[in-house]
Amino acid sequence: MNLESTIGSLVAQVIDSLYGLKLDASQIQLQKTKREFEGELTVVIFPFVKAARKSPEQTGQEIGEFLLKHNPIVSGFNVIKGFLNLSISQSYWLETLKEIHSTVDYGKTTAKEDAETMMIEYSSPNTNKPLHLGHIRNNLLGYSISEIQKANGWKVVKTNIVNDRGIHICKSMLAWKLFGNAETPESTGMKGDHLVGKYYVVFDKAYKAEIAELMGKGATEEEAKKTAPLILEAQKMLLAWENDDKEVRQLWEMMNAWVYAGFDVTYKQLGVDFDKIYYESETYLDGKEKVEEGLANGVLYRREDGSVWADLTADGLDEKLLLRSDGTSVYMTQDIGTAKLRYDDYNIKKMVYVVGNEQDYHFKVLSIVLDKLGFEWGKDLVHFSYGMVELPEGKMKSREGTVVDADDLMTEMIDTARETSQELGKLDNCTPEEIERIARMVGLGSLKYFMLKVDPRKSMTFNPKESIDFNGNTGPFIQYTHARIKSVLRKAKDQGIDFSTISDINLTISEKESYLVQLLTEFPSIIKLAGEEFSPALVANYIYDLVKEYNQFYHDFSILKEENLQLKQFRLVLSESVAAIIKTGMGLLGIEVPERM
C-alpha cells in the first residue's frame, strides 16, 4: 500500500473515532505538502468541519494530535488554515526504500495470463517515400505508449498498417517507369525508400509543369489538375493494379520491396518494432466487402455515378465517400477492412490508433461507420491524436522534397552527440567501441527525450541543438546522471562496501534524502497515470524531476567519503534505487542509458 492509501485509511479511521463520520479512504483529500511548509503529505480538513463542529484549524489540530499519538508513521504535524500537514517518520521512509530497492521492476505491473489485450497502431507509412521527422514522433509515441501500457498490466499488440497501394504509390511507380532509367538501390547506392521517394518528388515536379502548361493554354487550375496527362496515367495505373495487371503488379512488388528493406533499417536504428504488420493491399478488399454488405443492408447508399457513401448527417457529421465511382477504395475502406481483420486475429479489448490530429475527423467517421456496419467495438476505438512536429524553419512537405529525412536526422544526432561528448571530456577514458555505443545512445536519447517530454497532444518545434545539452531537461542530462551513479556504485563495490540492503532503519536522514525517497514512491502512480492519459511526457518529466533532485543531493552530501558506515550504506542503496528507476523510466520511453561516460 502506498503512502496516500495508508494515510487515507488512517485518517478515515480517525474521523470515525472522533466524529462518528464513516468515510472510505478514497474520500479523504490528500496532496503533496508544498515545499515551503514542513511535512510531506497534506490532508484537506474542510470536508470534516461540519461533523466536528469546530473551526478548520481546531479540527486539523485535533486530527493531527490523534494521529501523532496513535500512529508511529506520523512523526509531526502543523495546521495552516484548513490544511493539516503531516510529517512522516524517517523509519517509514527507510523501510519503504528497502522495499523499493528489493523489488524487481519496481513500478511495473506484470500482465497476468488472463490480462486483456490492447492493440496499438503506429507508424502507418506510405511506400512512396522514406520516413521523416513526423514519422519519428509517431513511432516514438506509439512505441512508448505500448511500453507504458505493458507496464500497467495490459497484453499489448504493437501493430503497423502499411499504406502500400493507392494513387500516391502509383505516382512514384509511374515516375520511375518514365524517368528512372532502370535505377535500383544497388546501382545508385541509395536506400530503397529514399530511391522511391526521389521519384515521388520527380512526379510532382513534372505534374506541376504539365499543369502550368495547360493553364498557359487557357485551362483553369482545377481543369489542369484533373486533365494533366501524368495524373490520368497514374489513375489508369491504379485501375490496372486493382484489376491485377501482371506488369503493374510486378513493378509494384519490386519497388515496395525496396521500400520495406529501407524501412527495416530505419526502424532498427530508431529502436521500434511491431508484433504484427498489416498491408492495405491485403485489407482493402475486406473493407470493400463490408461496404457492399452495408449497401445491401441499407446502412450505406449509392449515388448516380456509382460511388458509395455513408450519410452521417444525423450524427452531426457530413456524408463520407467509401467507394469511388470507378469502384476503387479510399482510406476509410481500408481502415474498415483492417479493423475487421484485427478483431478476427486478436481478442482486442481496446484498439488505439496513434495518428496525428489532422486526422481527427477521419477517426470520428471511422468510429461511427464501424458501429453502423455492426461492429460493436466501433464506438470504443481510441484515436490517440497528437500534435504535429515542425522545425524552427517551419513546416515540411514530402512531395516538394523539403522534409527532414529520419535516417539523416538520426545520423546527425549521433555525430553531434559524439562531438559534444568529446568536447566536454565525457568520453576521455572510453575505447573506440564504447565511444560509438555511447554516441548512439546519447544522440538517439536526445532525439527521443526531446520529442517525448512534450505533452503529446500539443504541436512542437524540434530543435536539434537544444536537445543535445548535458544540462537542463534533456536526455543527455539524465543519461549522464545514470552513468555518474553507476560510477559511484562501481567504486563502492571495489572498496568492498555492502549495500545490498539498509541495516539500520533508525538512522537519522536529511529532509533532502527523505524527499528523494518520497519521489521514488511516486513512480508507480506516474506509470499508472501515464497509461490512463496516454502520455509519455508524464514519465519523461518525472524522471527529470528525480534526476534534478538527485544531483542536488549528490552535490550537497558525501557518499563514499561518509564516515558513518550505515549512512554510507543508505546513500548507496538510495543511489542504486534512483539509477534503477531512471533505467526503467527511460526504458518506457525507448531510451537506453549508459553504464559509464
Intervals of CATH 3.30.1360.70 along the chain: 3-88
> Which CATH entry fits the domain spanning 406-588: 1.10.3720.10, 1.10.730.10, 3.40.50.150, 1.10.357.10?
1.10.730.10
Q: ∠ CA 223-224-226 to the nearest 5 degrees? A: 65
Intervals of CATH 1.10.730.10 along the chain: 406-588
155-162 and 276-279 strand pairing: parallel
Alpha helices by DSSP H, 522-562: 523-533, 536-556
pLDDT of amino acid 465:
80
Taking phi first (over 0 means left), then psi (-120 to 50 degrees means alpha), and beta for anything else, what does residue 182 get?
left
Q: Is 3-88 in CATH node 3.30.1360.70? A: yes
117-121 and 74-80 strand pairing: unpaired
pLDDT of amino acid 1:
54
pTM of the predicted model as reported, rounded to 2 decimal places: 0.91
Cα–Cα distances (Å) from 332 to 285, 364, 461, in that order, read 12, 11, 30
Cα–Cα distances (Å) from 452 to 343, 359, 413, 447, 460, in that order, read 30, 20, 16, 9, 10
CATH code of the region 122-390: 3.40.50.620
Residues 51 and 4: beta-carbon distance below 8 Å: no
pLDDT of amino acid 401:
47
pLDDT of amino acid 393:
66
Element (H, E) at 374: none
Q: How many alpha carbons fall within 13 Å on the CB side of residue 347?
A: 5
CA 552 to chain centre: 29
Intervals of CATH 3.40.50.620 along the chain: 122-390
Task: Provide the residue-wise pLDDT of the chain in tens; the chain has 597 residues.
Answer: 578 888 999 999 999 999 999 998 888 999 989 988 999 899 999 999 999 999 999 999 999 999 999 999 999 999 999 999 999 999 999 999 999 999 999 999 998 989 999 999 999 999 999 999 989 999 999 999 999 999 999 999 999 999 999 899 999 999 999 999 999 999 999 999 999 999 999 999 999 999 999 999 999 999 999 999 999 999 999 999 989 999 999 999 999 999 999 999 999 999 999 999 999 999 988 999 999 999 999 999 999 999 999 999 999 999 999 999 988 788 899 899 999 999 899 989 899 999 999 999 999 999 999 999 988 778 889 999 999 888 776 544 444 445 788 999 999 999 999 998 888 888 888 889 999 999 999 999 999 999 999 999 999 988 888 888 888 899 999 999 999 999 999 999 999 999 999 988 889 999 899 999 999 999 999 999 999 999 999 999 999 999 999 999 999 999 999 999 999 999 999 999 999 999 999 999 999 999 988
pLDDT of amino acid 438:
93
